[in-house]
Amino acid sequence: MDFSTSITLNGLIQQFLIGLSRTTILFIVSSGLSLVLGVLRIPNVAHGSLYMLGAFLCYTIASFLGASSLGFWLAILLAPLVVALVSLAVERGLFCHLYDREHLMLLLFTFALMLIFGDVVKAVWGSEYRSLSPPEVFQGSLSILGMPFPKYNLFLLCAGPVVAFALWFLTQKTKIGKIARAAAVDRDMVAAVGINVSWVFASVFVIGCYLAGLGGALVAPTQNISQGMDHTIIMEAFLIVIIGGLGNVWGALLGALIFGLTASMGILVWPQFSIVFPYAAVVIVLVFRPKGLLKATW
Amino acid sequence: MRKGLAMFVAVVVSVMFLVSSVSSFAADEIKVGIIDTYSGPPSSYALDVLDGFKLALNKINADGGVVGKKIVFVTRDDKFKVDLGLTAAKELIMRENVTILMGTINSAVSLAVSDLAKKEKIPFLVTYGKSSNITGAKGHKYVFSMNENTEMIGKAAAIGLAKRPFVNYWIAGDDYEYGHAIADAVWNHLKKIKPDVQLMGQSWWKVGEPDFTPYITSILSSKPDAVIVATGGAGCIPFLKAAKNTGFTSKVPIYMHTGTELSTLRPLGLDAPEGVIGTSNYYFYYPETPENKIFVEEFKKAYGRYPSFGSLIGLYTANFIAKAFEKAGKVDSEKFAEALSGLTIDSPVGKLTVREFDNQVMLPMFMGVTKKAPGFDFLIATDIVTIPADELMPSIENIKTIREK
């Protein structure tokens, strides 16, 4: 079978754009994971569960408000906020008592959280698949270079840079961002100058989890909302964070680009074995840069 | 001290009494052990089977049961894992003393339990596993398939697709046993019926792939006449969703085995694309027999939703069990297995027979095309063509040769 005959330039560009829109989701989720990892030093395995929770909440809020476009936008807005509230409760109620424990303990704890969230989602929403339609304006597809391009993916393409800019602004220009960056380097020193590190940690944790919820809410119209979506995303998010550099938000962006684009280009070039491409990219990066592409904060 | 001893004796005696009363109570029952996936995404199918089974069982028991005994069941969750399924099956045989076993949606678990059933001489009725090996290469006296299998799907799809004008095909599917088995079965039979078909290319994705858009755009860029999509369970829904968003089905017709089934179309609501060609063994709106209408009405009344193919499997499996015990005349695993083989019952889709040679239930298949319909908030299948069971049963000669190998 000849697999390369059908590749045209238009197809290549199309596939690149599709890959970029998928990258958006990967970036949003893994930047949140990276943020928590960098500042709090917690490998939060439950991050994927919050992503799943975001998707389910988005579905429930949108269907509660009626299947209108307004309902959808409110759901995109509210679902991550609810996830953030849940994470605030988890942080204040449980996490903040555990920061002195070793990493392994924290890892086990977040693993337990993942199982609990999984069961909570099952108990509340049941095991049926759910599906959410994108709002009217983003339904169907546009023709780009003679190829159909889903309108909703176009929206995702725009959402990515917005989130990236917001994150940049937050970490570089705001006080809490600066404190958080300082705490990532040396938390004892930050505490020594009289800053309440505990609340800094709480805010960073909540922001990280908000991003997981946002990723889940944004992805909801493109796939089925079901149990198990937590496992898929957490694997990919960790790989992205590892190749980007642990705890480095821009590393997460770079990692997401590498992962998302190799996946979608691989599908075009060699569809039979496309699964291999993003993982091969991860291996290659780690062979040459075992600590990730950008500077890790660990 | 004396008082303590008296107490102890009293407790022991009452426990013994309780135990003996439980076992004497159990003698009036026929116990069915069900192993299935009751957690995670596959559980929606398993619960449909269980609800259909319960509906039929309640009726049988209300009429006095069979051979003077009520049929009861116990369930175990295999969590879609072979080791858990096997442990559960052993426990059901040893501790619960079940007379027969049924389940599971996972083909690998079904095959493992079937192996145990053969050793323990306990009949095992596979409800949703679709591997053709269950009653084919690995078939034996004690295993029964209550479902279609990949071989039957392949034959039915090939018969239906050969009537359409497509020549250049693309195959895309889940990169695991079921996906490849379906794709191979459809393609091999299609090639036999219509030798001029061409395979342009294939795409395989990992199970649980969340976003199919990049796969669809890459397939579109090579412009095949039709695409055979070999996904199972959870994959169907996001695939159809991405197909709708990219306008895939308006450009290239796709065939997906479960694409017209209620389990796939109901969760999608009106987000499902029109024009998907699919095969299914059951629609709650087809065939329009009085038996089917009664079943749909009763199921809806009991559970507040339409029955799916899984619910139908549950229903006729219970009826097969009751009829087989009646024919056997007593509660005996060996006699049950002999009675069930070759048995025929009435069902909402007409008369069903368990083929004597391989214990495979003979199910007709329906090929339809998805379409929006007034009165439903999800898509339904239209232009339904029936492919009778005897046209799509795996050939006995073939099974004989594979089993001899």
**Would you give the DSSP letter of residue A225?**
B
Give the CATH number of the domain where residue B51 resides: 3.40.50.2300
Q: Are A33 and A251 in contact (CB under 8 A)?
A: no
Question: Could A1 and B215 be called an inter-chain contact, meaning their C-beta atoms sit closer than 8 Å?
Answer: no
SS3 A142: strand
C-alpha distance from A201 to closest chain B C-alpha (Å):
32
pLDDT reported for residue A57: 96
Same structural domain for residues B74 and B137?
yes
User: What's the CA gap between B23 and A155, in Å, rounded?
Assistant: 65
Q: Is residue B1 part of a domain?
A: no
In sequence order, which residues have a C-beta less than 8 Å from that of residue A240 and are 6 or more positions away? A26, A30, A252, A255, A256, A258, A259
Closest CA–CA distance from residue A48 to any residue of chain B (Å): 13
Identify the CA nearest to B184 among candidates B243, B221, B249, B131: B131
pLDDT digits (tens, 9 = 90+) for B68-81: 999 999 999 998 89
Q: How far is A64 from chain B (nearest CA, A)?
A: 16
| Binary contact (A8, B219; C-beta < 8 A) | no
**B122 and B163, same structural domain?**
no
Which residue from B205, B238, B246 is facing A141, i.e. has the nearest CB? B246
Same domain for B140 and B48, yes or no, is: yes
Mean residue pLDDT of chain B comes to 90
- Kindly state whether residues B266 and B156 are assigned to the same domain: yes
Give me the percent of chain B exceeding a pLDDT of 70: 93
Number of domains in chain B: 2
Distance from CA of A133 to the nearest CA of B (A): 6
**Whole-number pLDDT of residue B26:** 53
In a domain, B21, yes or no: no
Q: How many residues does chain A have?
A: 298
Give the model's confidence band at B25: pLDDT under 50 very low, under 70 low, under 90 confident, else very high: very low
Domain assignment present for residue B10? The answer is no
Q: How many other CB atoms sit within 10 Å of the CB of residue A11?
A: 19
Query: Residue B12 domain-assigned?
Result: no
pLDDT at B8: 60
Predicted ipTM beyond 0.95: no
User: What is the domain partition of chain A in residue ranges?
Assistant: 31-124+202-223, 228-298
Q: Do B210 and A223 touch (CB under 8 A)?
A: yes
Is B404 inside a domain boundary?
no
- Does residue B102 sit in the same domain as residue B189? no
Beta-strand (E) ranges in B231-379? 254-256, 277-280, 344-347, 350-353, 365-371
Convert the pLDDT of each residue in B196-255 to its tens digit. 999 999 999 888 788 888 899 889 888 899 999 998 777 888 899 889 888 898 889 999
Residue of B197, B250, B194 lying closest to B220 (CA atoms): B250
Residue pairs spanning A and B at CB distance below 8 A:
144
Statement to judge: residues B240 and B375 lie in one domain: yes
Q: Quick one: closest CA in A to B37, which residue?
A: A127
Q: In Å, how far from its chain's centre is CA B37?
A: 12
Q: What angle do CA A222, A226, A232 make, to 5 degrees?
A: 80
Domain that holds residue B53: 28-148+290-363
- Minimum CA–CA partner of B202 in chain A: A272
Residue B104 lies in a domain: yes
Q: What is the mean pLDDT of residues A8-13?
A: 82
Contact B44 A229 (CB under 8 A): no
Which residues of B make CB contacts under 8 Å with A? Answer: 39-41, 43-44, 47, 172, 175, 199-206, 208, 210-211, 213-215, 217-223, 234, 237-238, 241-242, 245-248, 251, 267-271
Same domain, B176 and B323: no
Residue B215 to chain A, least CA–CA distance (Å): 6
B295-319 tens-digit pLDDT: 999 999 999 999 999 999 999 999 9
**pLDDT of A66 higher than 90:** no
Determine the residue among A274, A275, A277, A279 to mutate to test chain B binding: the one whose Cβ has the most chain B Cβ atoms within 10 Å: A274
In a shared domain, residues B259 and B384: yes
Indicate the residue of B40, B201, B268 with minimum beta-carbon distance to A1: B201
Enumerate residues 142 to 171 of chain A having a beta carbon within 8 A of any beta carbon in chain B: 147-153
Query: Per the domain annotation, does B13 fall within a domain?
Result: no
pLDDT in tens, B344-379: 999 999 999 999 999 999 999 999 999 999 989 999
Structural domain contains residue B208: yes
Q: Where are the beta strands (DSSP E) in B261-400?
A: 277-280, 344-347, 350-353, 365-371, 380-387
Same domain, B351 and B371: no
Residues B56 and B135 in one domain: yes
Question: Distance (Å, rounded) from C-alpha B218 to C-alpha B242?
Answer: 13
Interchain CB distance below 8 Å, A10 and B221: yes
Q: Are residues B385 and B356 in the same domain?
A: no
